[in-house]
Amino acid sequence: MSPWRPKEGLGKAGPCVMKHHCPRSKAEVRRTPSGGGGRAMSGLGRLFGKGKKEKGPTPEEAIQKLKETEKILIKKQEFLEQKIQQELQTAKKYGTKNKRAALQALRRKKRLEQQLAQTDGTLSTLEFQREAIENATTNAEVLRTMELAARGMKKAYQDMDIDKVDELMADITEQQEVAQQISDAISRPVGFGDDVDEDELLEELEELEQEELAQELLNVGNKEEEPPVKLPSVPSTHPPAGPAPKADEDEEALKQLAEWVS
């Protein structure tokens, strides 16, 4: 009998005939994905804040929220101030009559004052934050406006060249000079009278003035003397005498009476 021999192919495969019965190598183990481990790591990432970040509030939303919180704190301030006054009145009411109740009222007053001081500090902090956000918003808006203005200016000057501007101004100046020359040429008198000498005209005018002056001197010598002006004569008669005074009339009456008596 012939000895037993394995079938063809089984000797080469070795003891691991089926793949799932063979142990895996370290490289294969490293390449195999572990689904459970990945899910665990993602859960830890969400727990420690490594997940998707939420979108923060806008400056307007933050300012509105701060204003609402400020209103709440202001109301709390008013409530605490009222409670402090009530506890103070309670302490005054009991005074020495009920020392224990008065001390308790004063202790409550102290706690309320501490809360009021904390509320004041918190309110100041919120006001500072709100003002800072408002200033930052204003600065950002101003910066955007300036950037927009810069882009507008750049767009307005993008088709301009300083050399072209200089050439244009030079052309304008040259055209103005030409226009001035044309105006001067048009306003200059042309035709008759251009060949007259100005000096000859002045000499002729001077001769005419001399002749007129000589004629006036001759007229002065030939003038007749004017008759003297007659003045009215002074009257020779004396003016009539005025009425006699009253004393003379009395004397005349006395003389007549004496003559009648004698």
Q: What is the pLDDT of residues 10-42, one digit of tens each?
A: 444 444 444 444 455 544 544 544 444 455 445
223-251: per-residue pLDDT in tens? 655 555 555 555 555 555 555 555 567 77
Residue type, 112: L
Return the CATH number of 60-160, one of 3.40.50.300, 3.90.480.20, 1.10.287.1060, 3.20.10.10. Answer: 1.10.287.1060
Number of neighbours of residue 126 by Cβ within 10 angstroms:
17
95: left (phi over 0), alpha (psi -120 to 50) or beta: left
Burial grade of 112 (CB within 10 A; 0-12, 13-18, 19 or more)? buried
- Report helix, strand or coil for 34: coil
**What are the sequence ranges of the domains in the chain?**
60-160
- What is the percentage of the chain residues whose pLDDT exceeds 90? 34
Per-residue confidence band for 9, with pLDDT thresholds at 50, 70 and 90: very low
Give pLDDT tens digits for 70-125. 999 999 999 999 999 999 999 888 887 888 888 998 999 999 999 999 999 999 99
